Amino acid sequence: MYSIGVDFHKAYSYMTVVDAGGRIVKAGKVANTAEAVRSFVCPYREGGQAVVEATRNWTVMYDLLEAELEAVYLAHPLKVRAIA
C-alpha cells in the first residue's frame, strides 16, 4: 500500500509517496496537469491512496487523482494545520 500526500498549489503541487512502513519512496514538484499527475502516481496505482487538503480548487486535483488511484481523501485545512 502506498499513501500520497498532496500539497496543492495553483500551477504545481508537491507530492510525497510513503510506503506501508512510513518510508518516503518518492517526492517532488508536479505540474497540475493530467499527464504530469498520471506519470507521478502511475507506479502506485495498485493499492495507492492520496490525501488532498480541501482548499481552493481541490476538486481539480481530486478528479485527477481519483482517475488514477484506488482512493482519494480530503483533509480539513484547519485540522491539518493543527497536526503540523
Calculate mean pLDDT across residues 28-40: 96
Quick one: pLDDT at residue 76? 80
In this predicted structure, what is the pLDDT of residue 22? 94
Q: List the domain boundaries for the chain.
A: 2-83
Q: Residue 1, Cβ neighbours under 10 Å: how many? A: 12
Q: Which CATH superfamily is domain 2-83 in?
A: ATPase, nucleotide binding domain (3.30.420.40)
Average pLDDT over residues 60-71: 93
Its pTM stands at: 0.87
pLDDT value, residue 81:
58
Q: What is d(CA 10, CA 18) in angstroms, rounded to the nearest whole number? A: 24
